[in-house]
Structure 1
C-alpha cells in the first residue's frame, strides 16, 4: 500500500522527513512517498527540494503564495503529481499563545481554508493537519471547532489529538494539535499511538540530544553564532534552566523591559530535561542558550532538538535556517504518527491511546 503525499505549507520538510522514514516492520509495501509540495519562501523550498525530492527535477515543489496557487485539476502541479494522501501544517502565527493571537482576524488564520479546498477537490484517502496548542483557545475557543467542522464537511472523519512530543522521544517540550482525517468511505478509526516515553524520567534530555552521539565535525549548519561581549558576560551569571529575569544579574547586565518577564529571554537549557520549545524567532535573547557554554545554540544543535538527522542540510542564511528549524514539525514525532496511519489502513494492530484527547463527534456533524 503506497501513499503519495502532497503538502501545503510544507516548511523545510519536518513532516515529509517523518513520512519518508515511516516504516512498518515486515511490510515494506507500506510506505509514504513525496508527490508535491508548496511553501512561499524560496530558501525553505530549496531546503525541501534538497532533502526530500533530490533538488526537484520534476518541478514538484511550487514556491509561491498559496493564495495565488491554482488549486484545481487543471494545474500541472496536481495533474502531473497525483496524490492520495495530504498534509498541511497551516501557519500558526495568529493562533499561537505567544503574541496577539488574532486567530481568524489575522493574516494567517484563514489560510487553513486552502487545505480544505484541496480536500474538497481531490479527496485523498487521508490527511494530517498540524497547528499549535493555542489553536484551541483562539477566537474565544471558536477557531478549532470551526476548522474541524470545515474539514469534516469536506468528507472526512476526524481524529484530533494534542500531542506532547516529549512523550514521543523528542528532546523538546513541544505541544501541537494534530488532526488526522480519514475519508468517510473508509471503515477505519484512527487512534493516537501510545507515547514511547510517557514517564518524565524517560524523557530525552537536551544534553542527550546534543551529545549522544556528538555532532560530526563536518555537519552542515553548525557554525558557532556570533555573540556580543555583553551577552557572553550576562550568560556567565545565568545557570542552567534560568533566564535573564530569575538569575542573579549585576545591575549593569539586568534587562529593564517594561512588563516583560518572558521565560525564554536568555534562557539556558537544563541539561537534564528536554529543551523548551524551539521557535522560529531569534531576536532579543530568544535563540536558545547552551547549558554549559556561554553562547546560543548552533542551527545544527537546534535541528537536533527537532530530531532532524545530521545529514539534513538547510539552505539559506543563518537567520532563515533558524526560522525554518523553529517552524518545523519534529521528524521523530511525525514518523510515529505516520506509522500509526499506515497501520490503521493496513489493519495492523499497534499500541495506541484508547481515544483522542480532543473531542469531536463524527456521527453527528
Structure 2
C-alpha cells in the first residue's frame, strides 16, 4: 500500500501521486477489523484525524484507517472543545501528569504527541529536567497497566539533540524496559506531501512478543514538494466565513525580517514556514497580500480539511493548529502501522 494512501476519484484504487510511482491498491471501503486506540495529549486532534482517516483535503481523499479511538485526553479544555466539534465526543479534559491509567480504557494502540516546549529549539530547552519535559511518562504508566500492542509518540526534532542526545536515549531505554522494541522515525513533512517545512520525530514501540515491526513511511514527494501557493492560493479573494476561519487573522502593517522564524513574507513556490503555536509573533505574511496568513490558511498548511473548524480566538486557534501533527503526515504513519497490524 502507498504509505501516503492518497485516493484517486476511483473508489477501489489508491495511488502514489506526484511521486513518479503508481501502485494500484484495494481501497478500504469498509474496515473489517478495528484496533482499539487511546490518545494521550490529543490537542485539537491532528494526530487522531490521521489515524482515523476518512477525510478529504483539497482534491485528495484519505482512506478510513482501522483505528477506533475509544478515548482521547488533553489538559487544555479549548483543545478538547475543538476535538469534540470535529472528531468525536470521546475526548475529555484530564491532567495526564497525575492520572490513574486504570481509569482509562485498555486499548491495542496508544498514541500521543506529548508536550514539546522543553525540547523545541525556540523553547526553554529544559529537556527531562522539568515537570513538563517528563510528561512522556504518562505513556509509560499506560503501558505498565495495559500493555498495548504498539505505541506511537510524537515530538519535535529538538528532542534528538537535547543533552547531547541523552534525553531521547533515556526515553527509548524506558520504553524498552517495559518489553518493547523501539525505533525513531524522523520525518520531513514535505516528503509526504505536506506543504510546510516541518520535521517531526515519531517514537514507535512494538511489544516484544509480536513479530516484525512497521516500516517507516517511504517519502512520496521528495522529488516535487507541494508549495504554499498550491495550498492556499484559491483563498486569496475570500475575505469572509464562506470558508471557515478565513476572515480571522492578526493585523499588522508590513512584514519584517524574521531570519526564517516566520515574521517575513512567505515564499509562494516553496513549502510554507512551520506554523508556530506562538501566534502573534510568528505567523507569516502572505506572499502577495499585505496581511498575515489567516487561521484557515495556517490550517491548510497543516493539512486540516476546510470542514475542520476552529471556534475560538485567533490566538487560541493558531496555538492549536501550530501544536498539532499535520493530519496528512499522521495518515502516512498510521498507514504503516495498519499494514503491520494487518500482517500479524
| TM-score relative to the length of structure 1 | 0.78
Question: What is residue 209 of structure 1 aligned with on the other side?
Answer: 231
Work out the CA distance in 2 between the residues paired with 1:159 and 1:31.
Answer: 22
How big is each residue's C-alpha offset from its partner over 1:293-317, in whole Å with a ceiling of 9 and x where there is no partner? 1111111110000001110112322
Work out the CA distance in 2 between the residues paired with 1:29 and 1:298.
Answer: 29
Between structure 1 and structure 2, the one with the greater Rg is 1
Q: Does 1:153 align with 2:177?
A: yes
SS at match of 1:67: coil
Kindly indicate whether the alpha-carbon contact (under 8 Å) linking 1:22 and 1:338 is maintained by their aligned counterparts in 2.
Answer: no
Q: Does 1:297 align with 2:293?
A: yes
Q: Does 1:44 align with 2:76?
A: no
Question: What is residue 99 of structure 2 aligned with on the other side?
Answer: 69
Work out the CA distance in 1 between the residues paired with 2:64 and 2:229.
Answer: 37
Question: What is residue 89 of structure 1 aligned with on the other side?
Answer: 113
Question: Where does the alignment leave 5 or more consecutive residues of structure 1 unmatched?
Answer: 236-243, 246-260, 349-365
Work out the CA distance in 2 between the residues paired with 1:344 and 1:97.
Answer: 33
Question: Where does the alignment leave 5 or more consecutive residues of structure 2 unmatched?
Answer: 1-32, 56-62
How big is each residue's C-alpha offset from its partner over 1:150-169, in whole Å with a ceiling of 9 and x where there is no partner? 11112211121110011000
Question: What is residue 274 of structure 1 aligned with on the other side?
Answer: 271
Question: What is residue 185 of structure 1 aligned with on the other side?
Answer: 209
Q: Report the CA distance between 1:209 and its aligned residue.
A: 0.4
* Alignment equivalent of 1:220, drawn from 223, 229, 244: 244
User: Compared with structure 1, are the counterparts of its residues 160 and 323 closer, same or farther at alpha carbon in structure 2 (3 Å cutoff)?
Assistant: same
Kindly indicate whether the alpha-carbon contact (under 8 Å) linking 1:7 and 1:37 is maintained by their aligned counterparts in 2.
Answer: yes
Work out the CA distance in 2 between the residues paired with 1:161 and 1:30.
Answer: 20
Kindly indicate whether the alpha-carbon contact (under 8 Å) linking 1:289 and 1:295 is maintained by their aligned counterparts in 2.
Answer: yes
Question: What is residue 256 of structure 1 aligned with on the other side?
Answer: none
* Alignment equivalent of 1:318, drawn from 311, 314, 320: 314
* Alignment equivalent of 2:149, drawn from 109, 113, 125: 125
User: Compared with structure 1, are the counterparts of its residues 211 and 219 closer, same or farther at alpha carbon in structure 2 (3 Å cutoff)?
Assistant: same
Give the number of aligned pairs.
303
Question: 4+ residue stretches of structure 1 with deviation over 3 A?
Answer: 212-217
Kindly indicate whether the alpha-carbon contact (under 8 Å) linking 2:65 and 2:334 is maintained by their aligned counterparts in 1.
Answer: no
Q: How do residues 1-365 of structure 1 correspond to structure 2 at under 5 angstroms?
A: 1-21=33-53, 31-53=66-88, 56=89, 60-72=90-102, 75=103, 77-78=104-105, 82-199=106-223, 202-211=224-233, 218-227=242-251, 231-232=252-253, 234-235=254-255, 244-245=256-257, 262-284=259-281, 286-347=282-343
Work out the CA distance in 2 between the residues paired with 1:274 and 1:139.
Answer: 30
Cα RMSD for the two superposed structures:
2.1
Q: Report the CA distance between 1:84 and its aligned residue.
A: 1.2
Work out the CA distance in 1 between the residues paired with 2:136 and 2:326.
Answer: 20
Question: What is residue 11 of structure 2 aligned with on the other side?
Answer: none
